[in-house]
Copies of this chain bind each other. A is one copy, B any other.
Amino acid sequence: MAPGEEFETTTLNKVRQVAEAAHYDRETVHAVLDAGLVCQVALIDQDQPIIVPMTYGRSGDTLYLHGARKARIVKALAEHPKACAHVTLVDGIVIARSTFNSSMNYRSVTVFGRPTLIEDPDEKLAALEIISEHLVPGRWHEVRPSLDREVKMTGVIRFEIESASAKVAAGPPEDEDEDYQSAVWAGVLPVSLQTGTLQPDPALPSEIDPSTVCLTLEDKTY
């Protein structure tokens, strides 16, 4: 893909519905990808679309996806290489004065490409670090290094983003003119993905406290 600030708008990524919420700039696409914890990957397996949830990390316009070595996803991609990865972050329920105008506030991103399995062990290890750091930044260097056999057993997929679009819906309801005289309440119920308090493994000796790396993830909003 040629460098630039925007993903090219084609029939593949062009947003048809609520087109005013669409964004094609890398900054927005990358920001939504970076804010998510899990993505959904759609593949075609024997003429059937399937969705697999996967953890991931991003570097530039490349997503790294984490699966298992012999998963259905790997076999399906060999037969039908086109895939789609998606992240939805729900930000609120828009409670309008009519159900017709009620909706959701959200950030979502949909990316297209032809993912491939990474075979090279060094590239795989680098990709695993990116995925791990996406979920728990700083953890990679806090634990023992990965063993060769662990890297071998793990399936890691390189997903070069060929095309992408983001959608961002925010703000209060937009009602019909005549409905603003209604006596019914209207507004937004915020929704967010939040972390709580670290729960130690019951097998953990009581003298081991969580590191700063882990503690900084407490009470965080995605």
Q: Does A97 contact B (CB under 8 A)?
A: yes
Interface mask (A188-222 → B, CB under 8 Å = 1, otherwise 0):
11111111111111111000111100100110001
Flag if A193 contacts B195 (CB, 8 Å): no
Q: How many copies does the complex hold?
A: 2
Q: B51, A110: Cβ atoms under 8 Å?
A: yes
- Give the residues in chain B near A168, CB-CB below 8 Å: none
A126 interface residue (CB < 8 Å to B): no
A26 at the interface (CB under 8 A from B): no
Chain B residue with the shortest CB-CB distance to A142: B184
List residues of chain B with CB within 8 A of the CB of A132: 99, 102
**Which residue of the partner chain, among B84, B144, B191, contacts A196 with CB atoms under 8 Å?**
B191
CB pairs A–B below 8 angstroms (24 shown): A37-B104, A38-B90, A40-B88, A42-B49, A43-B49, A48-B82, A49-B49, A49-B82, A51-B86, A55-B103, A90-B193, A92-B199, A93-B135, A143-B182, A172-B201, A185-B200, A187-B198, A187-B204, A188-B198, A188-B201, A189-B214, A189-B217, A193-B194, A194-B194
